[in-house]
Chains A and B, each alone.
Chain A
């Protein structure tokens, strides 16, 4: 197959994702961590772009990458214009609603509803989650370290990723609702889906768990 340009996620996801890509026979993945270069020419037409998971989506959507790997959390927030092809099954965690430990959350929702304030990196996903139950709380967007918000009175609860739950616990929060289970997903650009169909199909086949 001819190599593709892939946007790959730096950070938390990278270790497990790299394992899957290696198992699929993609070349030169060891070069990715070698130096600080964000663009790796891996030979055979393969190119790797290293980016934050949210930016992987942008690179793929804009077509500078044929395909990429990012978290389902990124896609829940915004999946416009890309094809979601494969669930790699790695990078498993959960997108949850978390509230202060001592709070009666179901009662809070029932009594306060739209008066609630939710802080999150995922405003659209949070809004959609509550809207499905007919609740429309106020949603405040934060860029990170969202666990701070309830402690200082910015929000009643948060919608955030949780893996072990230790960060939540350390900040006095507990998981109260599951929004969605999250894993790493392979996405493809709309145009590449047609013009690199054979190569993407081959890649898909190699990456299916």
Chain B
């Protein structure tokens, strides 16, 4: 008995914290490698940033104290923000955030958000730069928590700036899924909505309907749409990507279908569920939005969506809550990787273990000829699995080549519908 007790090492709280930190570092390294493999560059931003006085004036009601203020997790803002430079500064201050007055009386804020500052960086510090820009961050945000105390929110996030269309929407989702799989999340679903489609379906009831759906209040929604039950059915419909593509949904959206087709071909059909009534916190989403749902965790792990117009150009992105991610991955996931089969089916499509990422910083640009997107994505996935950096582009070859040169890509490949892939060294 005594022998057995002695054989079990005791773990102090510090031991537990050290082990957790080690796992966290490993996971961050894994995520950084995935981001790099998808051609994303890390961006760092100051923890403390000045708060512009005009931004305070234009900040939406609900910022700061009061019952209307709400704390949001993940990608998204607290209220709708108009476009323009003041708006860009205001985005950060629309959150319930912490302010500091420095010695010179300047008002600083502990950053509550990365999307706004990154959008600002691209608008003001990268105007005329090559598009799209692929950026990621591993950063901690600070928001006022429930009960008034501070909440540190470590996040892993990405912004794809300057790319419109379903290919870019699908890229954001697929990148998110790849991050989750690589980190060892055994089962997850991506619930996908579309704000543009939702608003079109709601028509004259768009504002009231979105207000109710934003609060996830289906009773208020049904009440509002009492005289239009077919609209209520349409906006509360949920189904798999396959069902949508088979025409089972009571609506149709060509862009959404295109994105779902690409995701299906990439092996994510079972992971993606369509929920057109899904609304992420924040009034600036205008297109596809999504949320990460993991069984056993009460809240979404993260999410994001398209927010064209926030920085004056098309943009989409997402954020993953690192604390939630570590809670899911625990000890097993980050080390052993994804198990195939077992008691519960894994959400991650069968893939070869990823090779160690090469030191090569330059990417390969893979151009998809019209109709060859699925093939191009498969080409990119293979390259990434082999440790390379791959970016898929759907533009005409000449445009893509110019982009490849401007962004320092070392190789260009053209994937046709059938026949061999052509390649050029740049």
Chain A residues within 8 Å of B, Cβ to Cβ: 61-63, 75, 79-87, 123-125, 127-128, 131, 185, 189-191, 194-195, 197
Contacts A62-B298, A127-B67, A131-B67; A194 near B189 (Cβ below 8 A): yes
Known: A131-B67, A190-B300, A191-B294. 5 other contacts (CB 8 A): A84-B215, A84-B216, A86-B219, A128-B67, A197-B238
Q: Are B216 and A189 in contact (CB under 8 A)?
A: no
Chain A residues, Cβ within 8 Å of B68? 128, 131
Which residues from chain A contact B218 at a C-beta distance below 8 Å? 83-86
> Given that A131-B67, A189-B298 are contacting pairs, would A194 and B216 also be in contact in the complex, using a CB cutoff of 8 Å?
no
In the complex the two chains form, is A190's CB within 8 Å of B293's CB?
yes
B298: nearest residue on chain A (CB-CB)? A63
How many interface residues does B have (CB within 8 Å)? 23
In chain B, what residue has the closest Cβ to A136?
B66
Question: What are 11 residue pairs bridging A and B, where the CB atoms are less than 8 Å apart in the complex?
Answer: A61-B298, A62-B298, A63-B298, A83-B216, A83-B218, A87-B219, A185-B219, A190-B298, A190-B299, A191-B299, A194-B191
- On whether the beta carbons of B67 and A191 are closer than 8 Å, the reply is no
Chain A residues, Cβ within 8 Å of B184: none
Known A-B contacts A80-B70, A124-B67, A128-B68; the reply to A191 vs B295 at CB < 8 A is: yes
Check if B116 is an interface residue, CB within 8 A of chain A: no
Contact indicator A84/B67 (Cβ below 8 Å): no
* CB-based closest 8 A-B pairs: A63-B298, A124-B67, A83-B216, A194-B293, A84-B217, A127-B67, A87-B219, A195-B295
A191 B298 Cβ-Cβ under 8 A = yes
B219→A194 contact, CB < 8 A = no
Partner of B217, one of A79, A81, A191: A79
Residues of B within 8 Å of A63, CB to CB, are 296-299
Contacts of B220 in A (CB 8 A): 84
B217 partner residues in chain A, CB cutoff 8 A = 75, 79, 84
Flag whether B287 is at the interface (Cβ < 8 A).
no
Question: Which residues on B sit within 8 Å (CB–CB) of A124?
Answer: 67
Task: List residues of chain B with CB within 8 A of the CB of A197.
Answer: 238
Chain A residue, CB-CB nearest to B73: A81
With both chains docked as a complex, state the minimum distance between the C-beta of B36 and any C-beta of chain A, in angstroms.
Answer: 31
Contact B299 A194 (CB under 8 A): no
- Which residues of chain B in 203-243 are interfacial with respect to chain A, using CB atoms and an 8 Å cutoff? 215-220, 238
Contact of A191 among B70, B273, B293 (CB under 8 A): B293
Q: Which residues of A contact B70 (CB under 8 A)?
A: 80
Q: Is the CB of B67 within 8 A of A195?
A: no
Residues of B within 8 A of A128 (CB): 67-68
Closest B-chain residue to A85, C-beta based? B218
Q: Given known contacts A128-B68, A194-B191, A194-B273, is B298 in contact with A84 (CB within 8 Å)?
A: no
Within 8 A of A (CB), among B63-82: 66-68, 70
Nearest Cβ on chain B to A135's Cβ, whole angstroms: 13
Q: Give A54 to B14 CA distance when docked, in angstroms.
A: 36
A190 to B191 alpha-carbon distance, docked (Å): 11
A123, B298: Cβ atoms closer than 8 Å: no
B216-A195 in contact (CB<8A) = no
Q: Complex: how many Å from CA A124 to CA B70?
A: 11
| Whole-angstrom CA separation of A79 from B220 in the bound complex | 13
**Nearest CB in chain B: distance from A114 CB, A:** 13
A-chain residues with CB within 8 Å of residue B297 when the two chains form the complex: 63, 191
A81 contact set on B, CB distance < 8 A = 298-299
Tell me, rounded to whole Å, the shortest Cβ–Cβ distance linking B409 to chain A: 38
Q: Bound complex: CA of A125 vs CA of B67, how far in Å? A: 8
Per the bound structure, the CA–CA distance linking A85 and B216 in Å amounts to 8
| Contacting residues, chain B, for A61 (C-beta < 8 A) | 298
Select B215's contact among A79, A123, A125, A189, beta carbons within 8 Å.
A79
With a cutoff of 8 Å between Cβ atoms, the chain A residues found around residue B275 in the complex are: 194
A208 CB to closest chain B CB (Å) equals: 10
CA A131 to CA B66, docked complex, whole Å = 10
Contact of A123 among B67, B189, B300 (CB under 8 A): B67
Q: Separation in Å of the A123 CB from the closest CB of chain B?
A: 7
A131 proximity list for chain B (CB < 8 A): 66-68
